[in-house]
Amino acid sequence: MGLNLAQKIIKEHLISGEMKAGTEISIRIDQTLTQDSTGTMAYLQFEAMGIPRVKTKKSVAYIDHNTLQAGFENADDHKYIQTVTSKHGIYFSRPGNGICHQVHLERFGVPGMTLLGSDSHTPTGGGIGMLAIGAGGLDVAVAMGGGPYYMMMPKVCRVVLKGALKPWVTAKDVILEVLRIMSVKGGVGKIIEYAGEGVKTLTVPERATITNMGAELGATTSIFPSDEVTKEFLKAQGRESDWIELKADEDAQYDEELVIDLDKLEPLAAQPHSPDNVAKVKDIGKIKVDQVAIGSCTNSSYMDMMKVAAVLKGKTVHPNVSLVIAPGSRQVLTMLAKNGALADMVAAGARILESACGPCIGMGQAPATDAVSLRTFNRNFEGRSGTKSAKVYLVSPETAAASAITGVLTDPRELGEAPKVDMPEKFIADDSMVLAPAPEGADVEVVRGPNIKPFPINKALTDRVEGKALIKVGDNITTDHIMPSNAKLLPFRSNVPYLAEFCLTPCDPDFPKRAKENAGGFIIGGSNYGQGSSREHAALAPLQLGIKGVIAKSFARIHMANLINSGIIPMTFENEADYDDIDMEDELLIENARDQIKAGSSLVVRNVTKGKDIKVNVSLSERQVEIILAGGLINYTKQQSE
């Protein structure tokens, strides 16, 4: 029986386990990436492991999230990352060089290799046929040290692309359509593999837009074949030698299939407040727009920017709209500056931001009260923009640019003929903003600012686990709810005790106080708890507050792994109706917790207040059981090496 593309790469990298969906496997990691807001923690953890030099083929640290320097904290963290990476053999992409996923795709990604990144949008690399996976910082630190990456073998879902996109319809509309069909939890436990005749009609940046937003499906990763289009892209980046052909076998098997007819797609938008709340732009109607933001790792490529510039050329941004544009990388920005497209944007009234995440993670450009903001980004969770009452719509760069001019949500097809932008034969390839690490053994002083505080480490699991249900939340709670990120909080990613004061506050401002008064307890969640980012702070902050377990209807993949790594027990209701029988402040008790967890998948939680036993599932591999018993991955690793 033939193999699909995902299985081929996994097979090449398999260290342990069998490629059977739902069972634990471990794979060798060729490359890693970190960004600064998860990177400080990842490097602190790497240092704690005591390994002198990374063992990957290439590891790169990017500075792209915390670039707003309103105080010393971010600048200090940049220095720390620059020095610690130089010491341990990691390349350092300086602030200004661009967004990690965009730069990695341009300059470092290699088809057929595995990439583990401490950012949930690492699957962008799937656009050139990498098996690129997002994970918590600790898992990335382990991979840098040469350790395998453990995960449940995903199912593989084939998305067959038929036909070709019509003018003004874009890759963003393709992934929004997939999100409309599959929902934000439809990809959990799956790899999305794109196939079909439509693949060859999509450029690498278009493919990368699609794999990037596979993160919003909850998928482990998404991947495209590596074909002639990939070869041309790598050649234009001066990296033809990195190309290999990669495709699924003719008789490859898939667990699921979805067909998307590219010809039938129309411009789409994800409406507030979820990436899967998708409707046609023309059906939403001409709502008044206050802000348009173009950029982010999803839609900030040279091709995207050139189309935006073409729409803006000779026009002026509508008086009621603030238009901000952040080209994704220094390569993109340089090319726009050289060919005049940047001048067209500026002349039209666009406010140009540096090549970084910026407004996508709430680092500036928070919209006005109740504002409608159209963004080419990938997440429109409530409050993520920095303004709770703002209504954020996710749209293509073309829809965004058209609407910036008209002042209302506009189907770009109304503008007449679509701009034609050709893929450049040669990109400007200048890696001088990527610093090579110091030679092995060189004396490098690691500079640590006062903002770096010790992070919490759990204790071995006790036999009796008890505490109150400290908060009860609904479905699809994001890591932006659990550990909000915005211009005020992001600078404190190396200071978990401070961040913990804001844990889950978008859901309940009193949660941190209640957790501290009760010396910890439990979180009760709905389905897809912890969707969104890879930030392990969404596990470390609860740990800091003494959280012992989370009982939810279901979990998002990366967050569940982060809870386990922190020694917090992730439990799912065996019977979802039991969710209704737990109220806030109920006393919960797990007796013989160690034995129960060792014994198998199900566990009894006594609701002491209601006098009722609830059955919960703890779906852990043998290794994960040991990690929970030890009180997290760091303790487990120490035990293993004793």
413 binds, among ligand MIC, ligand SF4, none (CB under 5 to 8 A by kind): none
Task: Pick left, alpha or beta for residue 223 (phi over 0 → left; psi -120 to 50 → alpha; otherwise beta).
Answer: beta
Angle at 258 between CA 254 and CA 262, to 5 degrees: 130
624 binds, among ligand SF4, ligand MIC, none (CB under 5 to 8 A by kind): none
535 binds, among ligand SF4, ligand MIC, none (CB under 5 to 8 A by kind): ligand MIC
534 binds, among ligand MIC, ligand SF4, none (CB under 5 to 8 A by kind): ligand MIC
* Binding span for ligand SF4 by CB under 6 A among 196-204, 230-238, 354-362, 462-470: 354-362
Q: Specify the DSSP element, H or E, that contains 466.
A: strand 465-472
Residue with smaller CB distance to ligand SF4, 5 or 366: 366
Q: 228: exposed, middle or buried (C-beta count within 10 Å: 0-12, 13-18, 19+)? A: exposed
Shortest Å, Cβ 215 to ligand SF4: 8
Length of the chain measured in residues? 642
Residue with smaller CB distance to ligand MIC, 100 or 161: 100
Residue with smaller CB distance to ligand SF4, 45 or 486: 486
Shortest Å, Cβ 120 to ligand MIC: 4
Interaction between residue 211 and ligand MIC (CB under 6 A): no
Shortest Å, Cβ 360 to ligand SF4: 3
Q: Distances in Å between the alpha carbon of 368 and those of 316, 386, 459, 474, 505?
A: 21, 10, 45, 27, 21
Is the peptide bond between 273 and the residue preceding it cis, with omega within 30 degrees of 0? yes
Which of residues 6, 188, 317, 360 is near ligand SF4 by CB under 6 A? 360
Q: Kindly identify the residues of this chain, within the stretch 330-369, that bind ligand MIC according to CB under 6 A.
A: 361
* Binding span for ligand MIC by CB under 6 A among 74-82, 125-133, 153-161, 526-534: 526-534
The amino acid occupying position 602 is S
Which of residues 78, 88, 107, 121 is near ligand MIC by CB under 6 A? 121
Q: What is the distance, to the nearest Å, from the Cα of residue 409 to the centroid of all Cα atoms in its chain? A: 27
Asked if residues 464 and 608 have their Cβ atoms less than 8 Å apart, the reply is no
Question: Which residues neighbour 391 within 8 Å (Cβ) at sequence distance 6 or greater?
Answer: 271, 272, 273, 370, 371, 372, 373
Shortest Å, Cβ 296 to ligand SF4: 4
Q: Kindly identify the residues of this chain, within the stretch 44-73, that bind ligand SF4 according to CB under 6 A.
A: 65
β pairing state of 58-62 and 91-93: parallel
Structure tokens belonging to residue 537: 């702070």
Interaction between residue 535 and ligand MIC (CB under 6 A): yes
Which of residues 32, 38, 212, 531 is near ligand MIC by CB under 6 A? 38
Q: Kindly identify the residues of this chain, within the stretch 100-119, that bind ligand SF4 according to CB under 6 A.
A: 119
Q: Kindly identify the residues of this chain, within the stretch 365-424, that bind ligand SF4 according to CB under 6 A.
A: 377-378
- Number of Cβ atoms within 10 Å of the Cβ of 11: 11
- Number of Cβ atoms within 10 Å of the Cβ of 430: 12
# residues near ligand SF4 by CB under 6 A: 11
Residues 143-182, one symbol each (x = binds ligand MIC by CB under 6 A, - = not), give ----------------------------------------
Q: In angstroms, rounded to a whole number, what is the distance separating the alpha carbons of residues 102 and 121? A: 10
Structure tokens belonging to residue 369: 């009260």
Asked if residues 79 and 99 have their Cβ atoms less than 8 Å apart, the reply is no
Residue with smaller CB distance to ligand SF4, 357 or 569: 357
Interaction between residue 135 and ligand SF4 (CB under 6 A): no
Per-position b or e across 536-565, b if 16+ CB within 10 A of its CB: bbbbbbbbbbbbbbbbbbbbbbbbbbbbbb
Shortest Å, Cβ 119 to ligand MIC: 4
Q: Kindly identify the residues of this chain, within the stretch 262-321, that bind ligand SF4 according to CB under 6 A.
A: 296-297
Shortest Å, Cβ 367 to ligand SF4: 16
Structure tokens belonging to residue 593: 């917790």
37 binds, among ligand MIC, ligand SF4, none (CB under 5 to 8 A by kind): ligand MIC
Asked if residues 274 and 380 have their Cβ atoms less than 8 Å apart, the reply is yes
Which residues contact ligand MIC (rule: CB under 6 A)?
A: 37-38, 65, 119-121, 134, 361, 485, 532-535
Which residues contact ligand SF4 (rule: CB under 6 A)?
A: 65, 99, 119, 121, 296-297, 357, 360-361, 377-378
